[in-house]
Amino acid sequence: REMGPPWELDGWQLLAAALAAPLLALALGLIASWAWVNSPRWAGLVQRPASHGPALAALNREEALGPRRTPVDRKALGRGELTLRETRILSHSATALAALIRAGELTSSEVCLASLRWARACNPDTNAVVAWRARAALQEATLADRFLARVRLATGETAVSPHAVGPFFGVGCSVKECLGLRGMPRTSGLVPRAEDSSRVTPSQDATVVSRLRLAAASL
């Protein structure tokens, strides 16, 4: 019986080698991705402005939201400098914000203002928001606060049930521009569509937008 070359592999060894090659490539790709995400260049794209660093550090040590019903300063909308309370507000999920608004711990107006100011501060770097409706959003938030005040006056209870107003009542959210939002242009990021936005403004909401409205979210 003749001996084959020492590097000759049997069927199982060939199969193992064939499976190991893509797994090794995947592992190397994950390592490279992790290294890139943790590089200073990427961190500079996603980190919050350095001026907010002290506020965020203090926020981690803070337990309470701070004084209730902080007056809304609409003139400060364009300055983009968040207070500690606003930073705390933005650390909550949408469901938590809705619960705090219904409980009277927050107002829809101050949540809306904090969100808009943060978006204004970040947008020069991220270009995430391409169509603004800040004035309408603040008006809707004010109406939501007035409605909750009437409900509390009628019931004599500070906390309002989500079944009475909706699970996301008083909470605003943005919508992906490629989705249909009634009255807002939908260009899908295409310059020719943006040049004549009147032709690409949907007359009805997309399904996901309709469901958000049914949940009483402000869009």
> Using CA atoms, how far apart are residues 81 and 167, in angstroms rounded to an integer?
30
Residue 179: per-residue pLDDT: 87
Task: Decide if pLDDT at 64 tops 50.
Answer: no
Predicted TM-score (pTM) above 0.75: no
Q: So what's the pLDDT on residue 73?
A: 47
Are the C-beta atoms of residues 82 and 70 closer than 8 Å to each other?
no
Q: Residue 139, SS3?
A: helix
Alpha helices in the chain (DSSP H): 11-37, 40-46, 53-61, 84-90, 94-103, 108-126, 134-155, 162-165, 191-195, 207-214
Nearest-5° Cα angle at 104, 148 to 60: 140
pLDDT, tens only, 143-178: 999 999 999 999 999 999 999 999 999 999 998 888
- CA–CA separation, 36 vs 126, rounded Å? 19
**Amino acid 33: pLDDT:** 65
C-alpha angle 105-96-184 in degrees, rounded to nearest 5: 100
Q: Cα(214)–Cα(136) distance, rounded to whole angstroms?
A: 19
DSSP string, 43-83: HHHHSPPGGGHHHHHHHHH--S--SSSPPP-GGGTTT----
Q: For residues 98 and 111, what is the distance between their CA atoms, to the nearest angstrom?
A: 10
What's the distance, CA 134 to chain centroid? Answer: 16
- Lowest mean pLDDT across 74-78, 95-99, 102-106, 213-217: 74-78
pLDDT of 8-29, one tens digit each?
556 666 677 777 777 787 777 7
pLDDT for residue 81 = 72
**Cα three-residue angle 62-120-78, rounded to 5 degrees:** 90
How do residues 104-135 score in pLDDT, each as one tens digit?
Answer: 999 999 999 999 999 998 888 888 888 888 89
Residue 20 pLDDT: 76
Give the whole-angstrom CA distance, residue 86 versus residue 119.
12
Tokens for 8, please give them: 């000759």
For residue 78, what are the contacts with CB-CB under 8 A and spacing of at least 6?
A: 120
Q: What is the pLDDT of residue 37?
A: 46
